[in-house]
Each structure stands twice: as C-alpha cells, then as structure tokens.
Amino acid sequence: MKNILLILLCVFGIHSNLHAQNNPLINTPSLSPDGKIMAFNYMGDIWTVTTSGENLKRLTIHNAYDTNPIWSTNGKVIAFQSNRFGNNDIFTIPSNGGTPTRITFHSANDQITDFTSENNIIFTTVRNFVQIEREPEIQSVSANGGTPFRILNALGFDAKLSPNRKFIAFTRGTCRIEREAYKGPANRDIWLYDIKNDKYNQLTTFKGQDLAPNWANNNTIYFQSARSGKYNIHKITIDDLGKKDGTVSQLTFLKDMGLFSFNISKNGRDIVFVSGDKVWLLNAITKKITPINITINSDYRLDPIERKTYTSDASEMVVSPNGKYRIMVIRGEIFIAENDAEKSRSINISNSAYKDYDVTWLNNSTVIFVSDRNGVNNIYAVTSNDPTNKNLYTTLKRTIIRLTNNKEGNTNPVLSPNKKLIAYNQGYGKLIIASISKEGKISNEKILLNGWDTPSNIAWSPDSKWITYNLSDLYFNEEIYIHKADNSQKPVNISMHPKSDIGAIWSKDGSKIAFSSNRNNGDHDIWFVWLKKEDWEKTQQDWDEIADKNKDEKESKKKDNKTKNNVKDVTIDFENIYERQQQVTSYTGGEYLDAISKDGKTFYYTTGNSGRGNPDIESDLYQINWEGKEKKKLTSSNSKPVVVSLNSEEDYIYYLSKGKSFRIKLASDKKEDLPFKAVVKINYKEESNQIFEEAWQVINNRFYDPNYHGQNWRKLKNIYKPLALKASTRTDFKNIFNKMLGQINASHMGMYRGEKRETVQEESTGILGVEFTPKNKQLQVSNVTPNTASDRNISKLYKGDIITSVNGEKVSVSENIYKHLTNTDNEKVILGVISNGKEKEIIIRPKSSSKTDNYNAWVKERKRLTKKYSNGRLGYIHIQGMNWTSFERFERELTAAGLGKEGIVIDVRYNGGGWTTDYLMAVLNVKQHAYTIPRGAAQDLKKEHEKFKNYYPYSERLPLAALVKPSIALCNQNSYSNAEIFSHAYKELEIGKLIGTPTFGAVISTGGHNLIDGSYVRVPFRGWYIKSSGKNMDFTPATPDIIIYNNLDDRAKGKDSQLKKAVEELLKQV
C-alpha cells in the first residue's frame, strides 16, 4: 500500500508540474511606482508579480480579454482595458485585488495610455471628433468615474502627460506596429503638445517607426524605435520649452527579436521590457539589465480540450453514389450522416486536430479527402476496416490511408465519372492526372500543366477523356480550357473573352459546356458552348422535332436496362468553338452555374453576391432551361445556397444553406431539412499548431515575392512558432503570428477574426452626435455634427446647451452620460436640457453610429473651404473609397459639385483603397474630338457654331461620365492601396498636379485564405510596379508635385492647408 501511495503521489506531482508555465508569454508589463511589482496580461487576465518573480497574484478572472494594465501614481489602483461588454472599455481594480470598477461606457474601443498624478486616465478612442482620419482622438476621464472629454485638437496614439503637467507626448502615424522595418510617409513619430502655449512640436524625424513615449522625468522621454533595425528602447531629452535637446541615444540592443513593449516606473529609473517570452528589468541609470523569471502554476482559463456539438457550420457536402448518405466537413472534420429528415446522427470518420477537406466519394464505401495531418496537404482515403461490414456509416472500424506523399502538396481531387482517373492540383501551378484503383491506389501520375496560376474548377467530360478548368493569363483574365486527359492534345480556349469566365460544367449528354461569365458590365451570367457544330446549327424547329422524338423514346429507354450505363464518347468540333457560345441568363446581381441535368436541358444556378454595381439581390437557387426560359425559383428568403449538387438519380438537388444541409425533391419542389448533430473534439493546442502551419504555408506558397522581401521565411517560422504555441489565448497567438508577418514588411497582411471562445455581453451606445466640454461641473455642448440625432429639427441641440439628464437620470462631469445612453440607439430618449438659460426636455432618438454623419460633415466642410478659398470658382469632390458606391457618388458629384465651376479639386486623402482607379482614369482621360449643336440652340450655325466648341453629348456616347475641365488631385500619407494607384496614375498620365504629402506606400494585390477556426490570413499575391521607373509601389509612395503638410490642429481651427494650396494651384490653370 505504501508503494502504491508513493507511486500515486509521484504521478500526481508530475501531473501538477505539467500545468506550470515557465517564462510564459506575457503582454504589456507595467511597473508599480516604486518599481518593485509588475502588472501584466496573461491568459487574458491581469496579474501581478514582484520583479524578483515572487508573490504571483491573479487580479482578474473573466471570460473577456483584460489587458494593458497601468498603475496609479500612489500604486493603490491599476487601470486596464477589457472587452467585457463587446468592445474595449476602461476599468480599475485595487492593486491588491478586488472587484473591478467600470470607468468608460461607450461602444467605441477605448485604449488606456496613462494614469496621471491628478488621478485621471488618458485614453484613445474614436467617438465624436474623428471624422475620416485613421488616428484616434485623445480623451481623459477621472479614475473615480464620470464623463470623458477630449483634451487635444490633434489625433494620435500613446498619449502621456509629463510629470510637471506641461506637455503631452504622443505618437502620430498609422503604419501598423508589426511592420518593424517600414520606412515611409505613414511611419510613427513622437510628438509633443505644449499645453500652455497650445503648440505642437515633432520630436523625432526618423523615417522608420518611433512610438510609445514614456516620461522618466520632466526632460527625459524613453520610446520604442526601430532605428537600429530591431525595436529597442531609446532616449530623447527636451529643454524646458519642449524642444529637442541633444541626440537620440539607445538603451537596449536587442538583435534577434525586437522589443514587444516596455514601461517605466514613476520613479523614473526602473524599466521593464519584454521581447518574445523574455522579460527584463533595466536600471536606466546604471544600465544594468536583470531577467525577470516567472513561473505560473494556474488553472486553465478555458478548457484546453472541448467537445462542441454542431448543428450548422458545414462547409462541404457530397452525396454518396447510392444516395443514402452524405459526407460533410465541419471545422476541418469529416462527418457521415444518413439522408433522412428524421435522423441527425452524424459520425466523425476523420478524427484529427488537423484540416480535412476537399471530400469526394470514390465509391459507396470509400471517401477521398485532403488533409494536412502530416504537415503538407496530401490525398487520403477513409474506408471500413471491418471485412464483415464495409458500410462507412455503420462500421465501428475505419482506417485512413495516405494515397499521395508529395512535398509540394496535393489538393482539389476530382474523380472522373468512370472512377478510374483522378485530377488534382500539385503545389501552386501543377495540374496532375493519375490513375486510381477501386481501392484508392494512385499511379501513373502525369503533369498536364505547370505554370504560375492554379487551374481551378476542374470538371470531367462524361466519357472521362477530357477535363475543363479555368486558368488566368498575366492580364488576369480567366478563360475556360478543354484539355485531353491523356495530354495528347494542347488545351483549347473555348471562352475567348477579355472578361472572366469560370466554373465550367459538362452536360452529361455531351452536348454542352456551360460556365459563368462577367462579360456584361461585370455581372456574372450563364453561358454555354455547343461542342458539336451540328447542334449549333440546329433551328428552333429542329429542336422541337427532337423533343417530340425523345418523348416517344422515353418509355423504351426505361425498359432497356442494357443502355442505361452506356456512355458515348464525347464529340468535339474544335474549329472556332468559341464562336458557338450562347447566353442563358442576363439578370442583375449575378448567376453562378451549379449543375446541369443529365439531358443537358435544365441548368441549376445560384444568384447574388456579384456585380461591381452592388445590386441588392437575394441569394437563392433557381432552375432554367438551356434556352433561358421556364425559370423557376427553388429556394427563397435569401437562403444563400452553396455546394449545390444533384444526386445520381437526379430526383433530389442537395445544398448547404447557412451551414445547414437541405435537399429539394425536384418532382414536387418539396424542401427537406437534413439535420445533423456533429460532435467535434477540439484540442486547441493541436489546432493552434495546425493553424500556424497552414497559415505559414499559405504565405510560403502565395506571397508574391519568392524571396519574401529579403527575409528567411523558414527561419522566421522557427523563431516565432514556439512563441505562438506558447500563447495562452488565441488573441495572443494571432498577435505573435502577425509580428512574424510584420518581419516581411509588406502591406495588406495579417491574421484576423477567428472563434471567440469568451462569452461577453454586447452593448451599444446611443449616439447623439455631439461633443461636450465641462462647464461648472456640467456638460456643455461644444459641437453638433450635421445630420446626427442632435441636428434634427424635432430634437435639435445647439452649441452652448447644457445636458442635465437622460431619462430622468442626472448626468454631469462626475456622472458618465454614456452610461445612461447604453442600448438606447434607435430608441426615444428624454434629455434634460438648459438652453439659453431655460430648462426644457427634448425627446431624441439616438443613432447606432455617427460614422457616415462624421464623414459627410468632413466633406461638407471641405466644400465650404473650397468655395471660400476659390471665391466660388472651383468645385470639390472627395472619393471616400475605391469602390462602386464611391465611384457612383463621384460621377454624381461631377455635376453636383462641378456645375458652373471652372475646375475640380479631386481629393483621395484618407481613401483606404479598392479597385476603381481605372474607371476614374477613364473618366479623367476623355478627349473631346468633336462638338454638337442641336436645333434651337443657334440661330445661324455658320456664325455661331464656334460658341459650342466645349459641348459634346458625353452621357449619351460614353459608358461612364467624363471630366474635361481642369482638375487637381490631393493625397496624403493615409491614401492607401488603390488610392495610391490613382495618385500615381494621375501624375504619370499628366492629368494635373498632385498636391499634399506622399502616400502610404502600400500597393499590392491581396487575397486571403480561411482557416479551420474561422480566422482568415491575408496574403499579397501580386506586386505592382510603376511603369516609367520600374519601382515597387509597395515601397514607393506617390510623391506630390507640391508637398505640403496640414497643421495638426488645422481641422479644429477650420483650416485645411493642403486644400488651400491645391485651390491656389488650380486657379493658376483656369
């Protein structure tokens, strides 16, 4: 018994140690005022520990993500931010532990930056002052609670008050911090605000990243900088007037991995900093660096292994050849279920923490799929391992066999109709055809294609001798190709159109290949190609006669079982095959082909989610005949059907709708819900490994530069993967992955979204559309945004009004008004108001957002300033985004803003990009070649015709609008992506002068890839270069002809220096 007890104690002791985390991956460490205790984020909670690694305490324990702790000056309170109510709000908690107190109440994200000696908390947010800009506004709130107020007329990050309360140091610049090596116009710099003199002073001018200023004393600021090539702590000193005094010096010398964050104690001496999973204490005076070793023995915040039951969220579904079963992919697992509306039992047949997908049936007892369970995507088969029961659903024994083992990876397996051949993609650009046996053995691999693009939408001819696929050329025009499966003939382009053609499907009668094409105004329609010339030549009367003949033969075919499976060789007349195209649909919103009936007469398609014109179209399933007639709607209510397929007997059509499985009996149009109950065992640690590997591989295979901007991508994986797998939350996991991506130093990259395991409340704030300033402890309206709730005639507020209550509850400087506006959006609210000394009540209906109103207010002010600066001679147009909505607004504004004007100012500042530059260039590059004069406009054409030289019927003759007046363009460092392409093109094509500041330097074409937990990784796949210089536009901003900067407080003072300069220059031309 004693020996057994000793063994058990030993086992339990070992088990206990397994929960210990040595040198855990912690975040945002912050030192107490005396420098002896460190607060930090770990497992999404706030912890404290002494700098000697002792007396570990967990201060918060909540499902939400608590982070960014900052100490009060007296060390008794720690402030932090948390998404407990759906977005980041600020909370405080006693430093020895206790119940958190909520300080801010707003559905905007609040990020704490300082805890001042006056017991105020400074934070950044986007509320009422930010209109269009990319940087947040800076506000302050009492740590005791109350209504926050904006404290700067400038925007920025990381704001901290100097000890003597004379200055506020803050960061400006919008390049994401993860891009350590970025050097460009959007880099971050340290600025100083002189409170007394209301002046701004730029302290650092390094072309790269400077951020996170921390005051050591009234004249010393420490900050994070990449000027050494990696993020390190640097120091700058200022004189009593806030001017830079001396040179910048470096305190830390990290080389392999840069600084993640740092914090200096209120004593001005002790600095804590973290890089990866290493934490150090730095004495700023002696320069001594001491590691802080932390060991955390704690319970899990969230279960490391969880069993989740899914009744939706299926991403793939394939019906078995006999129609009895279906396989589905749910969170990277393969499930099999019966096709019975009364049964929901689903069996997991893949059982892996890795991603299993691209499923298909080899036969009724074998399923083919793709998996990355061995590190690289390859093809596998799952079958019953019970000789007495080969039914995949009922068997208790299953075996998984790897069918291919290729280092490049094999994906997208497509079986031929006779089940003897298999097509699949290898690596990124290869198309393989191979033989496959009944048991799943793959042999005789043959490479049909090996290029830069991936052949997609592979489909087999009914005789298993041909395949089709769509493939893009270097003009990025996708075409449909026919390719002989034995590679004895070169591929033939059958679509031949300069617009995209995708998703070809063969009709089983061998007469047609149908596909979707966006050749009509960017809106996808269904087309098909006649494979035989004689079919193309048939008249309507011929088809009517054939239909009558088929009716007579229908009964005899049913009785003749011998011809049931007789597949004829497909005959293809290749000469000028692309001329034998016929359009089937021509509706608005896009039609995508999903299936064709056996006789080739009925097409099944889905609608919606298409068209650059943003039509408001529901996504549903339809059928139509090949002549474009007899259209019938099979689903309704925007069901968004995907993965549509016919079963082998074609009596049912199956589909997924919002992750659930359905089928429709075609004879009666009866819809059946096919329920499933799938239990997925999620091992989050193993899944994190899978996510990292898959996302890394996506970048490895698709990033446009095979040299990864000079970085060793595999080495970066070896450095960052151990840290990512050490992360205690998926938020931290994504942060580490994004830091790795940042090392490549490219735009348009990141890992986003993903499963939210934490359960938090969701609140929304009713937006009044006003800003407040404190007046005698009351809330005085300092600004009303046009068109907001407070600008309506029935609920109008005015500058100078005092708000005293919300629904009878008093509000003031000390009682947060936003607390009483929680969940009041679009609901009537009673405001107590003092206006011109008189008390009254106003019934107001707050909005859920002021984003659109703030943007429109910004544009309205630019129009006013343009009118003022030009004395009414020029018009002004801002292009909000490079999308269809903004383009249509641009066309409209050509008339609305340009009517009677001599020229137009075109503004793409703060434009985040899109795709419409070439549409805009088409509008701006129109050259008039004639002029017209209608009857009644002139009395004598010979004498008067030259008066009409500037008139031409553009709207009648062109597909787009035309601007032939002089113009000038504005850009700035926050003109991004396609807005930069516009700026480059405007200058390159010499349309007019470009004014402002150089653009961001972030031009690249990006795609994305969905990951197993719903997260998403963006990957740039195509580089852009300036034609005249050959320079990479992701590192080469568009440089204006005249560079001019706006003052930081221009907008608050009703000015726009860049706009004024643009007006001055354009007036010289008109």
Q: Which residue has the tokens 């704030």?
A: 765
Tell me the CA distances in angstroms from 979 to 852, 913, 1001, 1062, one per residue in order.
Answer: 20, 5, 10, 18
Q: Please give the angle made by the CA atoms of 466, 472 and 478, to the nearest 5 degrees.
A: 80
C-alpha to C-alpha distance for 193 and 189, rounded to whole angstroms: 13
Under 8 Å CB-to-CB from 1041, ≥6 apart: which residues? 987, 993, 994, 995
Question: Under DSSP, is residue 308 helix (H, G, I), strand (E, B) or coil?
Answer: strand
C-alpha to C-alpha distance for 733 and 176, rounded to whole angstroms: 17
According to DSSP, the residues that pair with 496 across neighbouring strands are: none
pLDDT confidence of 179, banded at 50, 70, 90? very high
According to DSSP, the residues that pair with 828 across neighbouring strands are: none
C-alpha to C-alpha distance for 912 and 927, rounded to whole angstroms: 29
Give me the percent of the chain exceeding a pLDDT of 90.
92
The yes-or-no verdict on residue 614 having pLDDT over 80 is: no
If you average pLDDT over residues 192-219, what whole number do you get?
A: 97
3-state percent helix, strand, coil for the chain, nearest multiple of 5: 15, 35, 45
The yes-or-no verdict on residue 11 having pLDDT over 60 is: no
Q: Are strands 602-607 and 591-596 parallel, antiparallel or unpaired?
A: antiparallel
DSSP state of 1013: T
C-alpha to C-alpha distance for 767 and 784, rounded to whole angstroms: 12
Per-residue pLDDT tens over the stretch 910-942: 999 999 999 999 999 999 999 999 999 999 999
Tokens found for residue 76 = 């008794």
Tell whether the torsion through CA atoms of 445, 447, 448 and 451 is positive or negative. Answer: positive
Instruction: Report residue 303 CA to chain centroid gap.
Output: 28
pLDDT of residue 615: 78
Cβ atoms of 274 and 260 closer than 8 Å: yes
Burial of 563 (0-12, 13-18, 19+ CB in 10 A): exposed
pLDDT of residue 7: 44
Burial of 438 (0-12, 13-18, 19+ CB in 10 A): exposed
C-alpha to C-alpha distance for 60 and 298, rounded to whole angstroms: 13
Q: Which residue has the tokens 């659903």?
A: 393
Cβ atoms of 125 and 136 closer than 8 Å: yes
Kindly report the pTM of this predicted structure.
0.95
Per-residue pLDDT tens over the stretch 657-706: 999 999 999 999 999 999 999 999 999 999 999 999 999 999 999 999 99
Q: Are strands 903-907 and 967-971 parallel, antiparallel or unpaired?
A: parallel
Residue type, 125: T
pLDDT of residue 3: 54
Under 8 Å CB-to-CB from 59, ≥6 apart: which residues? 39, 45, 46, 47, 48, 78, 93, 95, 97
Buried b (16+ CB within 10 A) or exposed e, 643-658: bbbbbeeeebbbbbbe
Per-residue pLDDT tens over the stretch 790-808: 999 999 999 999 999 999 9
Per-residue pLDDT tens over the stretch 414-447: 999 999 999 999 998 999 999 999 999 999 999 9
According to DSSP, the residues that pair with 446 across neighbouring strands are: 433
Closest CA to 447 of 391, 397, 406: 406
Q: How crowded is the C-beta side of 566, counted as CA atoms within 13 Å?
A: 6
SS (H, E, C) 110-159: CEEEEECCCCEEEEEECCCCCCCCCCCEEEEEECCCCCCEEEEEEECEEE
Per-residue pLDDT tens over the stretch 845-854: 999 999 999 9
Supply the DSSP string of 914-935, one letter for each residue: BS-HHHHHHHHT---------T
Tell me what the pLDDT averaged over the chain comes to: 94
pLDDT confidence of 336, banded at 50, 70, 90? very high
Tokens found for residue 299 = 């319970």
CB count, 10 Å around CB of 848? 13
Tokens found for residue 324 = 């009895």
C-alpha to C-alpha distance for 826 and 847, rounded to whole angstroms: 5
If you average pLDDT over residues 954-965, what whole number do you get?
A: 91
Instruction: Report residue 822 CA to chain centroid gap.
Output: 28
Q: What are phi and psi of 440, to 5 degrees?
A: 100, 5
Q: What are phi and psi of 961, to 5 degrees?
A: -70, 175
Cβ atoms of 727 and 751 closer than 8 Å: no
If you average pLDDT over residues 1018-1036, what whole number do you get?
A: 96
C-alpha to C-alpha distance for 603 and 594, rounded to whole angstroms: 8
Under 8 Å CB-to-CB from 837, ≥6 apart: which residues? none
The yes-or-no verdict on residue 14 having pLDDT over 60 is: no
According to DSSP, the residues that pair with 479 across neighbouring strands are: 471
pLDDT of residue 681: 95
Per-residue pLDDT tens over the stretch 490-528: 999 999 999 999 999 999 999 999 999 999 878 899 999
Q: How crowded is the C-beta side of 502, counted as CA atoms within 13 Å?
A: 18
Closest CA to 283 of 272, 293, 269, 273: 269
Helix (H) or strand (E) holding 778: strand 778-784
C-alpha to C-alpha distance for 1016 and 752, rounded to whole angstroms: 5
The yes-or-no verdict on residue 173 having pLDDT over 70 is: yes
Tokens found for residue 50 = 């002494």
Burial of 1039 (0-12, 13-18, 19+ CB in 10 A): middle
C-alpha to C-alpha distance for 694 and 692, rounded to whole angstroms: 6
CB count, 10 Å around CB of 1014? 12
Question: Under DSSP, is residue 667 helix (H, G, I), strand (E, B) or coil?
Answer: coil
Tell me the CA distances in angstroms from 299 to 98, 104, 144, 724, one per residue in order.
Answer: 19, 30, 33, 20
Tell me the CA distances in angstroms from 136 to 118, 213, 469, 728, 846, one per residue in order.
Answer: 23, 16, 48, 29, 22
C-alpha to C-alpha distance for 646 and 634, rounded to whole angstroms: 13
Closest CA to 439 of 374, 385, 376: 385
